[in-house]
Chains A and B, each alone.
Chain A
């Protein structure tokens, strides 16, 4: 099979790779780079567990082929913490008890991160809209909303 050469930015580092044209981005990230923080819950874009940031926007990595990311910037949950220091969203998910089994958590945090990138001061309704594609079967969402709201306040104080 003809491999495709790609170059992309992965969590801040420029990477070159040869990819099989049929490989999904989620498998590429998990199998080639061991970035298993990106989870698979359904494989057809319904659960949001595989959400990553592609050029600043939250996308389902199970619906994208690896060869499509040539020249693009990818951020996964593993790229959010800085030198072992958690991002404030991650801190607040912990503090507010927004984590139970934790399987949906990376996708949920990444969707929230994308929201705050595009809209630093979202209303509760906008938060609900932003994570409506991320299914959680354990916690019931309320603590997740609180964690994201808490992250906005910190943002304003820091700026």
Chain B
């Protein structure tokens, strides 16, 4: 079987990752358009759908074990303090309490890349872990937590990013100021000298919270020295490694399982402290432990999209040619190391030979940032596409024409071509769907109290996936197929799409295919479910395994029918003699003859092609109405046109896009974590005060996929779709609001008060 270990480059959530991994070197014929296919690309219903609609799907939150106890966590009520004294003796007297762990009675376990500990007496934000209690019920554990006595040395804090930037960072967290990120390209002053006009502005975006519907939770059980962890996670292998390292046990003594999960959006891409705390308690008690965060903790302690304060300047000629651009931004990573940069789209989206970038991460005394659906890009595109529109209006050019004038044919950071780029097609399809010609040629020129506007923004993301990613196939009596891989389905449809790929190649009906994912004890390694990389990484591995399984079936049929292999063809799930089609065997017949009960096959993702970079592209267009008396914005329609390679399943694709667009809409108009600067307390810790959209906020949405397949990226032609969906929505809405009222709102979320203030100041 052609396999090779190669070095490969993938870009994951904005980070360039070099991997060395085993790849398949088989080259398969490309599929062409979906019209040529039987199963892939079709609106197949989810194979896990029955479990989900019937209520029988067991999520991590639903995992109940015999003798299980419950654990809850005590968190810092203060934004910055050191624990002077902690006394758990009263808590341990609660009837039904079993154990309380703190830094005083547990070993030191490194956390946040060795910058802190599992229990660190230096508390750096409201929500930092202090203690964890296990009891017969969750209520008893919570009661015990209230009886823990803690004396604090209160320390100075800053929760405002700008103020923190001006303060001594070591006084706020004890950490050094992160290095300034810089990037330069071309001859910046030459670019400026070539320009006729320029625009400059500062844009700010809020901290927003993932808030998946299923809270973060784990159920853990020891069996001797072996630990099983059911975790609500996007990354079973990361959790396995973190838990094994923390507890200093063998990685194959830890098994992490995640079957169904209620959303993550990036907040569940890394192991949580809670899982390790539960494992410690379970080991001490000799009983299984369930630990979970409540909604309040979800809003404090498991990540967020960092804020950004981006100052952009664009210089260009009157004909629309952009000659230079500068970018300066800072954003809060929270109280522990993480990234907050938002400059990737600025560096790659539009053609510009001369640019300058400075991006500063800032520590503040608030919850740490984490990857959140297209980290950096959602913030970055809002600012970039706002300033690009400003330049277009300044020189009197159609905003789409300006984007076409500065269309980047190659990736400008790596100076290599794209495996595919159909952004022009997306502009044209989206413009038609929104009636682009109906926009106000002069922003704000509409009449009446309610003003209508149209705007758009572009999207770029990675999502080509890459190795290592493996899959196993098991074909059993009756012709039943099981696909096994160590990735996980976080709700996006991975179970279904992997089954479709196997069904396409082996021509086995979907009903006869089972998919097992999310179990480190069972599946070969496959990537975490982030970066829109799952399908582009794992589906090609399933194709590889399926094609090889097909060859194996042909070889088996040759042996059984005593015909040479080259005289046999695979036809519609049956293996027949080319010369005498009456001589044929079904897969079930072959399995019966083999008496082995199962045929096994492994498959791997191929290497990424050399000399290319893979990105997805798209454009979203918004049609909005702004009530100039109340400031209320109504989004009438979003038209989303995207190049995402091959659409693998029309139904799950629609889900992803609708969901992403709605998250983008609420990022534009509703969501914001609010902290009282004088106390350091987050004031909107529930879903009443922290607004996520309800059914009443849904606009009309039209999804147009302009791509058929990306034949260079991998053997199924797919690029990821989860993150592209959210990236341009806020930018498009902001540009539509500007087009409606003629005043630019530079700060998200665009709430009615900001609209009214902007109109008032303008007039």
A53-61, A65-73, A114-122, A135-143: which lies at the interface:
A135-143
A43→B685 CA distance, assembly (Å): 13
Q: Which residues of A contact B652 (CB under 8 A)?
A: 97, 100
Binary contact track A30-46/B, C-beta < 8 Å → 1, others 0: 11001111111111101
Task: Select which of B49, B294, B295 is within 8 A of A99 by beta carbon.
Answer: B49
Q: Which residues of B contact A132 (CB under 8 A)?
A: 694-696
Contact A145 B52 (CB under 8 A): no
Q: Which residues of B contact A143 (CB under 8 A)?
A: 654-655, 658
Q: Given A37-B56, A143-B654, A46 and B213 touching (CB < 8 A)?
A: no
Interface residue? A16 (CB, 8 A): no
Interface residue? A18 (CB, 8 A): no
Task: Select which of A78, A133, A142 is within 8 A of B55 by beta carbon.
Answer: A78
Q: Which residues of B contact A40 (CB under 8 A)?
A: 61, 215
Give the distance to chain A from B55, nearest Cβ to Cβ, in Å. Answer: 2
Task: Select which of A35, A39, A131, A134 is within 8 A of B61 by beta carbon.
Answer: A39
Instruction: Count contacts on A: residues with CB < 8 A to the other chain.
Output: 54
Task: Select which of A47, A136, A144 is within 8 A of B687 by beta carbon.
Answer: A47
Contact B45 A31 (CB under 8 A): no
Interface residue? B23 (CB, 8 A): no
Contact B687 A135 (CB under 8 A): yes
Task: Select which of A39, A99, A109, A133 is within 8 A of B214 by beta carbon.
Answer: A39
Q: Which residues of B contact A74 (CB under 8 A)?
A: none
Binary contact track B37-64/A, C-beta < 8 Å → 1, others 0: 0000001011011111111111101101
Contact B490 A101 (CB under 8 A): yes
Contact A101 B695 (CB under 8 A): no
Q: Which residues of A contact B262 (CB under 8 A)?
A: 39, 41, 101-104
Task: Select which of A80, A97, A104, A144 is within 8 A of B45 by beta carbon.
Answer: A97
Q: Which residues of A contact B62 (CB under 8 A)?
A: 30, 36, 39
Contact B655 A128 (CB under 8 A): no
A101→B57 CA distance, assembly (Å): 11
Binary contact track B204-228/A, C-beta < 8 Å → 1, others 0: 0000000111110000000000000
Q: Given A36-B62, A36-B64, A94-B50, A77 and B55 touching (CB < 8 A)?
A: yes
Give the distance to chain B from A86, nearest Cβ to Cβ, in Å. Answer: 6
Give the distance to chain B from A92, nearest Cβ to Cβ, in Å. Answer: 9
Q: Which residues of B contact A100 (CB under 8 A)?
A: 491-493, 652, 655-656, 659
Give the distance to chain A from B235, nearest Cβ to Cβ, in Å. Answer: 16
Contact B59 A39 (CB under 8 A): yes
Binary contact track B629-660/A, C-beta < 8 Å → 1, others 0: 00000000000000000000001101111111
Q: Among A36, A91, A140, find the residue whose CB has the most chain B CB atoms closer than 10 A.
A: A140
Interface residue? A64 (CB, 8 A): no
Contact B54 A137 (CB under 8 A): no
Give the distance to chain A from B664, nearest Cβ to Cβ, in Å. Answer: 10
Contact B212 A137 (CB under 8 A): yes
Which residues from 22 to 45 on chain B have a C-beta closer than 8 Å to any C-beta of chain A?
A: 43, 45
Instruction: Count contacts on B: residues with CB < 8 A to the other chain.
Output: 56
Q: Which residue of B lies closest to A102 (CB)?
A: B52
Give the distance to chain A from B634, nearest Cβ to Cβ, in Å. Answer: 14
Interface residue? B168 (CB, 8 A): no
A134→B261 CA distance, assembly (Å): 18
Contact B212 A81 (CB under 8 A): no
Contact B54 A90 (CB under 8 A): yes
Q: Which residue of A lies closest to B649 (CB)?
A: A97
Q: Which residues of B contact A138 (CB under 8 A)?
A: 213, 263, 491, 655, 659
Task: Select which of B57, B663, B688 is within 8 A of A137 by beta carbon.
Answer: B663
Binary contact track B648-680/A, C-beta < 8 Å → 1, others 0: 000110111111111100000000000000000
Contact B64 A141 (CB under 8 A): no
Interface residue? A49 (CB, 8 A): yes
Give the distance to chain A from B604, nearest Cβ to Cβ, in Å. Answer: 28
Task: Select which of B46, B213, B651, B659 is within 8 A of A47 by beta carbon.
Answer: B213
Q: Which residues of A contact B657 (CB under 8 A)?
A: 140
Contact A141 B213 (CB under 8 A): no
Contact A137 B659 (CB under 8 A): yes
Q: Given A141-B662, A143-B655, A42 and B687 touching (CB < 8 A)?
A: yes
Task: Known A-B contacts: A41-B213, A81-B54. Give 20 more (CB < 8 A).
Answer: A31-B64, A36-B64, A37-B56, A41-B214, A44-B686, A46-B688, A47-B213, A94-B53, A99-B53, A102-B48, A102-B491, A103-B214, A106-B53, A128-B696, A134-B695, A135-B687, A138-B659, A139-B655, A142-B701, A144-B695
Q: Which 6 A-B pairs give the minimum distances between C-beta atoms? A: A37-B55, A103-B262, A101-B491, A140-B658, A102-B52, A77-B55
5 pairs across A/B with beta carbons < 8 Å? A91-B53, A100-B652, A105-B52, A128-B696, A141-B662
